[in-house]
Structure 1
């Protein structure tokens, strides 16, 4: 039986070659989406797994990247491992910023992805394809900290159409080597809005609070 947990979502995965950070940002009409979609590992890469999501793709993809597989190879290996692959949507970026993404034929319309230099945007159950184009344009034309660029991309996607079903949750996950508290792990920014009428705005508020407390 195919497990079906519909994560109607738009997300972005990205790499900043200057800061060596990998990050994922996501917004969805799905409670606590941050517990399902974003995965990342410093100096390895990042993954977003969504639609009728298979969360095991996150750690599996990162392990494969760490073993030297390319994003395209990771996609093909995971596709071959899952009988429900037509219902999945996922994207992978590696330590060099190379990307690959897959949208299954059974993902709910509108669904698709755009991959570019150091990023990939993907979504399903979207109002239209303009959501992803707006996200891609925002990321390509923005400057500054990776976390801020990721949130700006989400905001652009929401403004262009977003999720057909509405808004509920958002998350931001950024890793870098030694980025965690005390330098003991790579978890630099891990912010989640589990249930909120304006999740992207709340995520932006939390990011601002993170910077304020970090700098004090």
Structure 2
């Protein structure tokens, strides 16, 4: 009923999942900073999430943790699970999962992934997701997770249709108030959930992402920003203060930089005054 990718990139861990199932994000994904990430699906056993993360935290490799957890589960042949830990990745598909069902797991040093799905249109879904993961190298983990999900969706995805999608990722020091939450997004019931998840991810990065492509507030750019802020009702002798006041009002404060103005904040200011 579901296709997912569980992955590690550097110190970041995350899961992205889509399904013809209401609120798939309430069931499938979990991740823990410094430990790993897990997806449980196909007659999902939610207890796997804490159990597997606990085993990873205790030092077990993903394949060993997954083998031990499934061995204790009488319903394991109906389950599907993906696990990524420090230096390890594993995927399990029970023999009673509805066709097509299968997965792949690889540890590639600085990155690792487990991709799996059931009730899919065919193996091309997992194959497309794996290709998209590699093709997106150089992007952030959430962007790579979403790229894989888009590829799986376009390749056929869940053979029954579309309903929900979710992403959860963690990384030390990231997110709002440096909470470590790199992305926490759910589309619970939507005609195009993977597309909507991408829109939400872009918004999330705007609100909680670090400053990027910062330009100094000098010359013509300073004049443009000062004029735009004044049109929006934010003016004063100190341009940085006026910018901070507007950005705080728009919830863009995470993107403020003492070095100047962030590219996406500048784009938002231009759009607001267009």
Q: Distance in 2 between matches of 1:22 and 1:168?
A: 25
Query: Quick one: which of 139, 147, 152 aligns to 1:152?
Result: 147
Are 2:203 and 1:197 aligned?
Answer: no
Q: Distance in 1 between matches of 2:143 and 2:175?
A: 18
Instruction: Provide the aligned length of Structure 1 versus Structure 2.
Output: 205
Are 2:104 and 1:114 aligned?
Answer: yes
Q: Distance in 2 between matches of 1:73 and 1:34?
A: 26
Cα deviation digits, residues 120-147 of structure 1 (max 9, x gap) = 1100000010000000000012121110
Aligned-CA RMSD value: 1.1
2:124 aligns with 130
Q: Any conservation in 2 of the 1:41–1:186 contact (CA below 8 Å)?
A: no
Q: Distance in 1 between matches of 2:166 and 2:85?
A: 20
The structure with the largest strand share of the pair is 1
Question: 1:66, CA displacement in angstroms?
Answer: 0.3
1:103 aligns with 93
Q: Distance in 2 between matches of 1:109 and 1:189?
A: 31
Partner-residue secondary structure (3-state), 1:136? helix
1:3 aligns with none
Q: Any conservation in 1 of the 2:61–2:86 contact (CA below 8 Å)?
A: no
Larger radius of gyration: 2
Question: 1:212, CA displacement in angstroms?
Answer: 1.6
TM-score, L = length of structure 1: 0.92
Q: Which runs of 4+ in 1 moved over 6 A?
A: none
Question: 1:180, CA displacement in angstroms?
Answer: 4.3
Query: Quick one: which of 175, 183, 200 aligns to 1:206?
Result: 200
**Greater relative contact order (Cα < 8 A, sep 6+):** 1
Q: Which runs of 5+ in 1 are unaligned?
A: 1-7
Partner-residue secondary structure (3-state), 2:208? helix
Q: Distance in 1 between matches of 2:62 and 2:205?
A: 32
1:52 aligns with 43
Query: Quick one: which of 11, 15, 31 aligns to 2:8?
Result: 15
Query: Quick one: which of 51, 61, 65 aligns to 2:56?
Result: 65
Q: Which runs of 5+ in 2 are unaligned?
A: 210-251, 253-274
Q: Any conservation in 2 of the 1:33–1:171 contact (CA below 8 Å)?
A: yes
Partner-residue secondary structure (3-state), 1:22? strand
Query: Quick one: which of 143, 152, 170 aligns to 1:175?
Result: 170
Partner-residue secondary structure (3-state), 1:52? coil
The structure with the largest helix share of the pair is 2
Q: Distance in 1 between matches of 2:174 and 2:128?
A: 30
Q: Distance in 2 between matches of 1:180 and 1:137?
A: 28
